[in-house]
Chains A and B, each alone.
Chain A
């Protein structure tokens, strides 16, 4: 049903303590994302977009403030619970693809499946997802360094989808791709959003942000 929030940030501050002094990467950010929304986060480089996305993805804990996922306060969850939230509820797509270099494309997609189900995929889901993103069987046996950037990002999308997450977080997913490939990836994401997934995408490309229903602008760690 529309109107129920899947992600809610309340006054989230993130401070990195460096020898040279503290860096306030996020400054009392409050933000609500509804179930099924397609949100783009925009802002100049160094404004705190990645930091914000890492908070949404439960990769990091706020220095202060609260983050609710599906109504649950992540402050009350331990590392184990946050990890299984990342495994089951959240799919993450990175600018640098971040595939595991020792594993083949197929195994990279299978990895979260194995972590979740503790048995190999016998339903053919991994192969299906790879086919959907345009990676054929032969290509799936290759290791990431043998694939092009676009192919790697397709594999990464298949990996993010393998456990059927409600939320898809993408950090400049087209940043390292040519415009044609970037467009294909964006169409793929739009399609996934139409099928009901909540998508948050970080970008500084207005052409990419056009696909989103709502644009959130970040400047100096604050949401404008």
Chain B
């Protein structure tokens, strides 16, 4: 069907082509800005989530330290220890979810050559070491006098395979010298073991220095299936703490949630800033529509006097702003694919996630916002046009 009202709107745009293009340009910029920022946020979230999910399969169990919920935190912990009996119980509950192992941990003075400092010393089962660590150099320890060290520590003290470290306080006389047999690969922040700045030896080596056999600083559970995280946590808490609060359980899903939500807030904020460009666009569309109304007062008078309803006049001007919005949003969407790609590459460093729905969804979203802005800016001018007095409008020059 031939819609003469739409025809009139289109012809008005064509006659004032340059003006219309400039107005639509505002929408183009707004749509590109909003969708690029949105996509940047989405890609950042996706890549951080992927990074973090690598460690999301770890559940850390520590002894409850009197007060509920205790410290815990990244590999830190209370001074309370988990007893061998408690560990056996935990293992019974948790072994169906994956590998359960114990961690001895102590912080102590160390001396390399004549340089002194502090380091965390871990005592771990040799098989567990092999499962959770990757070496960049050397081999896993085979004796109670050999250790592996984290890359940061190795860098700071110039440690190489074959270097020696003296552990313990010289003043108290109780020191042990160990030999470095392997250097770990960087592992980053983790909530089970922070190995980058640590010395790791066998359980025997650890208890040889510090005693405390059968009193563990933490018990770690490596899940076979990440999705069990909540379930395992709940089950351990329920069974272990039935009579008395004995353990705290930390899973990484919460940390993941909080980081994702922080990134989400940031994305929303950046998009809101980009949204300001749409506000500018709204002003220019509004301006163009008001000009269009003023220029066409006489035409409106003619249309009204020969029987066009107010609603038809309104429709004519709304069509004009909707067309500007559609064209602007369309061009904006195409440009956003290119510009968004560049922004993501520059800010996130990888476009692996660019074409995922979570990322691309920001383009239609920005288009909708842009078109809505156009319609809203057209409403008042359209209403003004429809409400003109026909006689007055006809007298206009």
Contacts and interface: CB of A to CB of B under 8 A. Distances in A.
A120 interface: yes
Interface string B1-39: 110100110011001000000000000000000000000
B309 A80 contact: yes
Contacts, number: 74
Nearest to B8: A102
B1 A120 contact: yes
Given A60-B390, A101-B299, A107-B4, A112 B307 contact: yes
B4 A102 contact: no
B308 A102 contact: no
A54 B303 CA distance: 15
B1 A98 contact: no
- Which of B1, B12, B305, B306 counts the most chain A CB atoms within 10 A? B306
Interface string A156-172: 00011001000000000
Contacts of B310: 79-80, 83
A83 B394 contact: no
B8 A59 contact: no
Contacts of A101: 299
A10 interface: no
A100 B2 contact: no
Interface string B358-397: 0000000000000000000000000000000111001000
Interface in B90-107: none
Interface string A109-145: 0111011101110000000000000000000000000
Contacts of A107: 4, 7
A185 interface: no
A196 to B, nearest CB: 21
B86 interface: no
Interface string A77-88: 001100110111
B306 A92 contact: yes
A83 B302 contact: no
B316 to A, nearest CB: 10
B11 A102 contact: yes
A92 B298 CA distance: 15
A84 B307 contact: yes
Given A86-B307, A112-B307, A100 B8 contact: yes
B81 interface: no
A188 interface: no
A103 B302 CA distance: 12
B1 A111 contact: no
B80 interface: no
A59 B302 contact: no
B215 interface: no
B304 interface: yes
Contact of A86 (B15, B301, B305, B389): B305
A160 B306 CA distance: 8
A175 to B, nearest CB: 15
A79 B389 CA distance: 11
Interface residues on B, range: 20 to 34
Nearest to A84: B307
A43 interface: no
B308 A110 contact: no
Contacts of A40: none
Interface in B278-325: 298-299, 301-310, 312
Contacts of B8: 100, 102-103
Contact of B2 (A59, A83, A94, A120): A120
Contacts of B394: 59, 94, 98
Nearest to A51: B391
B391 A102 contact: no
A87 B307 contact: yes
Nearest to B308: A115
A58 B368 CA distance: 42
B303 A119 contact: no
A163 B307 CA distance: 10
A114 B306 CA distance: 12
A99 interface: yes
Contacts of A79: 310
A83 B310 CA distance: 9
Nearest to B9: A102
A221 interface: no
A98 B301 CA distance: 9
27 contacts: A59-B304, A59-B305, A59-B390, A60-B390, A60-B391, A80-B310, A83-B307, A83-B309, A84-B309, A86-B305, A87-B307, A92-B305, A92-B306, A94-B394, A98-B301, A99-B302, A103-B7, A103-B8, A107-B7, A111-B4, A112-B306, A114-B2, A115-B307, A115-B308, A118-B1, A120-B2, A159-B306
Nearest 6 interchain pairs by C-beta: A87-B307, A102-B11, A86-B307, A98-B302, A60-B391, A120-B2
Interface of A: 54, 57, 59-60, 79-80, 83-84, 86-88, 92, 94, 98-103, 107, 110-112, 114-116, 118-120, 159-160, 163
Given A80-B310, A83-B309, 16 more contacts: A54-B391, A59-B304, A59-B394, A60-B391, A83-B308, A87-B307, A88-B307, A98-B298, A98-B302, A98-B394, A100-B8, A103-B8, A111-B303, A114-B2, A120-B1, A159-B306
